[in-house]
Every structure is written in structure tokens, then in C-alpha cells.
Amino acid sequence: MAALNAVDRHIALIGFMGAGKSTLGQALAERLDRPFHDVDREVEEAHGSIWTLFAERGESAFREIEADFVRTVCGRREVAVVAVGGGAVETRGLLAGCGAFTILLDVDVDTAWQRVQGSRRPLAADEAEFRRRHALRAPLYAEAADALAHDLDGAVLGAAGVHHELGALDKLGELVPGEGAVALVGDSTVMGIHGARAQEALGDRLVSTHELPPGEQAKQLRVVERLWSELTLDRAGTVVALGGGALTDAAGFAAAVYLRGVPWVTVPTTLVGQVDAAIGGKTAVDLPEGKNLVGAFHWPARVVIDEALLATLPDRERRQGAAELVKTRLLAGEELDVRGAAAYKAALCLRDPFDRSVRQWLNLGHTFAHALEAGTGFDLPHGEAVALGLLAALRLSGRDSATVERELDPKPVRADRDRAWEALLRDKKRADGAIKLVLLGSDGPYVEARPPDEVRAALDSLIL
């Protein structure tokens, strides 16, 4: 199965005249920290105005120049965002063989005409011809596109393989890529609520259904070992993970290792999962010594986010997700809804798929949170641990913690202090005798090493 994301791939933006490829492409490139190439602009810089090229040499000559430029950009090793001319899909299969992940910026013909009429675009001189071209290209765009977007967040989500739509669970059969068999994995609670709808949506492709224990109990090697024994998929099959963050962690790890790796699709049913855990391909299980100590990077073939699934969440579960949402807002420095938070994380993961640089920002508060979870024998829910961890991280950053206290109301917990400290030391590597933490400055997140006694004191302040 071809990768359905833009990890280590060029992104080609396609769409009709007036779709906003140049403006959105520049913003997308900045968000993903990639170079940006606007084909029309750069062709004009090298060969003069497109209007003149069309007038003196004809459209076919322009398309040849355009094709050469796109091939040159796609041949470079440094991945980029490329805004491709409106007619690129019309001639010679320009994007075929380029290896780019293609995002269609959709625009209706009336809006497009309103934006370009009166401009010096060669194909915008005649409204009837403009509308004819729009109708001609619409099916070609749809065929060429790997994802569809209408705004910047939509483009980021599309590039990360994330599909966000109310009611998406009922479309699961068409959203799971490929044609092979599907194994549905869910925890016992979620399967009782959403399992029947998911099975119906998957239809004839569904060959097996597997229930894992709820919550952190799913992330045990013995549980995953049992799942491996039950799976009957071949390498063309797909694991579909339906549940919260613990379930998708376990099912994703199982998929990463089974037959040396089979595709998987994650369908997060909790707020934690939709804004954080299901995105970016981190999978893991726990050991008695600490959380997430055994895992793999295995990017999902698709992430299906259906916010309608959140309607069944108990209040305590919703509060768990609220902690991750507050964390993301702190990192972004702005208010974000579920879609915006998912796009923020997706962008960092695309920039840093293997957690070597900016993706580490997402660990804000988590060094302490994971330690507290281990110190309570994993009885402390993840979101409540994150809320406490954010409190410690903000204090060490010298930042006001009022937002966390007001929105999450974290309270110290009873935990084994020594076990929590041992787990913290295993969770993050030392650096010259100090411990690296994600902190928050006035200009955003950063990673800094702090002395062990300072970190230990911050951890102890969270424990009764």
C-alpha cells in the first residue's frame, strides 16, 4: 500500500485557478518548515510572464516548461511544498511518477471566477471557457488527489493522513485504504458502544474482531501477545484500532510488529486520542518499570477523527482529553478546537517523524505525568497525570499556571515517591548529570536540562 501521508515526500498542491494555492502553499511550507515553490511564479522569473508565453509560444510550450520545472523540484532530496499550475493534471500525467503527496485545494467555479476575473491569467479572459475548463479538470483533480483540503489546517491534516469528519465512522469501509482483509481491534467498553456500527461499515472486508481490556490494561505485552496469536491477516491486511489512546497504542504496536509490519488505521473515540494519541505513529506498551518503554514508530495508513464519537464520553474521560487540549493550546499560544489541536500535532510530527527535535515539545508535562502514573501503579488516569505534569513544567519555566489550575484543577496524588522518581529517570535521558525537560518560554516551547534535585523537588510537590 502506498504511503497515504507526506512523511519524507514532496507535497504538490493542485487546484483550479483561484483556489489559493500560492497563498496557502506558502503558509503550509512555513508550518511544516519546508521550502516552497510556486511553479507559475518561478516559471515567470525564468521565462517572462505566462501571459506572454501563452501569446507567443502557446499553451503547449508553457506546459513543457512547467513539467520540466516540476520534475526538477521533485528530483531534489529536500522535501518541499510545490504549488502546481491549474492545468498540470491536464497534460502528460505531470504528477505521475513524481512521488509527491498530492493535495487538492477545492474551489467552486463561481468563487474561482470571482477571484480571477479581470486578471492577466491567460485562461481567465473568457468566462465560458473558464467554466468549461473547470468542469473538464474537476474529475482529473479528484483522480490525482491523495487528499482534499479547503484551508491550512485541512492541508496539514491531509498531509498527515488524517480524515476529520462528523459521521466518519459510518464511512469507515471506504476510508480504510486498500482492498485487503481487515481485523477490528477495540476495547471491551468501546466495542459495546460503537463496535456494531464499525463492523457494519467495514462490511465484507472484516474478517475478525478482537477485544482488549479497557484503559492502560491494554498496554501489556501479554495482551498484545494474545492479539498477535489471534490475528490471521496476511501482509495485505489492515488492523483497524477503535478506542482511546491506550487501545490505539497497543493495537498500533501489534500492527507494527505483526508480520514485520502491516498497515493500520486508527479511529480514536476519546478526546485524548483525537487531539494527541492517535496522530503521528507512536505506538507502545508499558513495562513494570515505566510507561511506553517498548514501542515502535508506525505511521497509520489513515487516522479517522469523528467528533460525534465524543458524545458518549463520560465526564471524567472528557477531562482526560481536556488536559491534552490545554497542553496543545499552551504550546501553540492560541485557542484551539479539536481539529486545530490535531492539526498542530500533525504538523510537528510531519516536521519530525522520529521525535528527534520539535516533536519533543509535545512532551510538555509528560515527563512528570509518566512518572506519576508509574508511581501509582498506573491507577492514575493519563489526563489527570498530564494536568499535574503541566503544573510542574510551568512552575519550572517560571510561567503562570493559572490556566492549568482554572481549567484542569489538578490535585496532588498519593504515589510511591521512589518508584515515580525511578520511572522519571528512565523516561528521559540524562545530559551531563542533568535531566532534559520540555519547558515553556515567552517565545514558545524549548528543551532544557535541569539539575536532578530541582526536578525531584518538582515531582515531589505533586505527591501527597
Q: Is the pLDDT of residue 1 over 70?
A: no
Confidence label for 92 from pLDDT (cuts 50, 70 and 90): very low
Closest to 116 in 3D by CA, of 37, 209, 22, 188: 22
In angstroms, what CA-CA distances link 264 with 134, 243, 281, 283, 298? 36, 13, 10, 11, 9
Residue 28, CA atoms < 13 Å, CB-side half-sphere: 34
Residue 224 lies in a domain: yes
Residues 97 and 209 in one domain: no
Residue 74 lies in a domain: yes
Alpha-carbon distance of 153 to 100, in angstroms, equals 19
Residues 87 and 113 in one domain: yes
Q: Is the pLDDT of residue 429 over 80?
A: no
What is the structure's pLDDT at 91?
Answer: 47
Residues 291 and 361 in one domain: no
Instruction: Report the DSSP beta bridge partners of residue 385.
Output: none
**Percent of the chain beyond pLDDT 90?**
69
Domain span at 226: 163-313
Residues 425 and 377 in one domain: yes
Alpha-carbon distance of 429 to 411, in angstroms, equals 27
The whole-number average pLDDT for the span 275-296 is 92
Residue the block writes with cell 483561484: 18
Last residue of a domain, one of 313, 330, 350: 313
Residue 4 lies in a domain: no
Last residue of a domain, one of 159, 175, 198: 159
The whole-number average pLDDT for the span 45-67 is 79
The number of distinct structural domains making up the chain is 3
Residues 134 and 176 in one domain: no
Alpha-carbon distance of 312 to 106, in angstroms, equals 33
What is the structure's pLDDT at 61?
Answer: 79
More confident residue, 66 or 145: 145
Residues 98 and 221 in one domain: no
Residues 182 and 73 in one domain: no
Q: Where are the beta strands (DSSP E) in 51-203?
A: 81-83, 101-105, 147-149, 162-164, 182-187
Alpha-carbon distance of 304 to 179, in angstroms, equals 17
- Range in 95-99, 183-187, 404-408, 441-445 the model is least confident about: 95-99
Chain segment 211-260, per-residue pLDDT in tens: 999 988 999 999 999 999 999 999 999 999 999 999 999 999 999 999 99
Last residue of a domain, one of 91, 124, 159: 159
Residue 267, CA atoms < 13 Å, CB-side half-sphere: 32
Identify the CATH number of the domain in which residue 398 sits.
1.20.1090.10
Residues 141 and 251 in one domain: no
What is the structure's pLDDT at 209?
Answer: 98
Contact 246, 188 (CB under 8 A): no
Chain segment 353-398, per-residue pLDDT in tens: 999 999 999 999 999 999 999 999 989 998 999 999 999 999 999 9
Residue 3 lies in a domain: no
What is the structure's pLDDT at 437?
Answer: 95
- CA 152 to chain centroid, in Å, comes to 14
DSSP 3-state percent helix, strand, coil across the chain (nearest 5): 55, 20, 30
What is the structure's pLDDT at 19?
Answer: 87
Residue the block writes with cell 479539536: 338
Residue 281 lies in a domain: yes
Residues 127 and 20 in one domain: yes
More confident residue, 247 or 292: 247
Chain segment 157-168, per-residue pLDDT in tens: 999 999 999 999
Residues 171 and 288 in one domain: yes
What is the structure's pLDDT at 202?
Answer: 98
Alpha-carbon distance of 221 to 284, in angstroms, equals 10
Residues 142 and 267 in one domain: no
Confidence label for 62 from pLDDT (cuts 50, 70 and 90): confident
Confidence label for 430 from pLDDT (cuts 50, 70 and 90): low
Burial code (b: 16+ CB inside 10 Å, e: under 16) for 325-360 equals: bbbbbbbbeeebebbbbbbbbbbbbbebbebeebbb
Residue 326 lies in a domain: no
Three cell numbers at 343?
A: 492539526
Residue 321 lies in a domain: no
In angstroms, what CA-CA distances link 12 with 96, 98, 109, 121, 464? 11, 9, 21, 21, 54
Residues 217 and 169 in one domain: yes
Residue 71 lies in a domain: yes
Region of residue 136 (left: phi > 0; alpha: psi -120 to 50; beta: else): alpha
The whole-number average pLDDT for the span 276-292 is 91
pTM of the model: 0.92
Confidence label for 334 from pLDDT (cuts 50, 70 and 90): very high
Q: Is the pLDDT of residue 431 over 70?
A: no
Q: Is the pLDDT of residue 60 over 80?
A: no
Average pLDDT, the chain: 91
Identify the CATH number of the domain in which residue 173 sits.
3.40.50.1970
Identify the CATH number of the domain in which residue 150 sits.
3.40.50.300
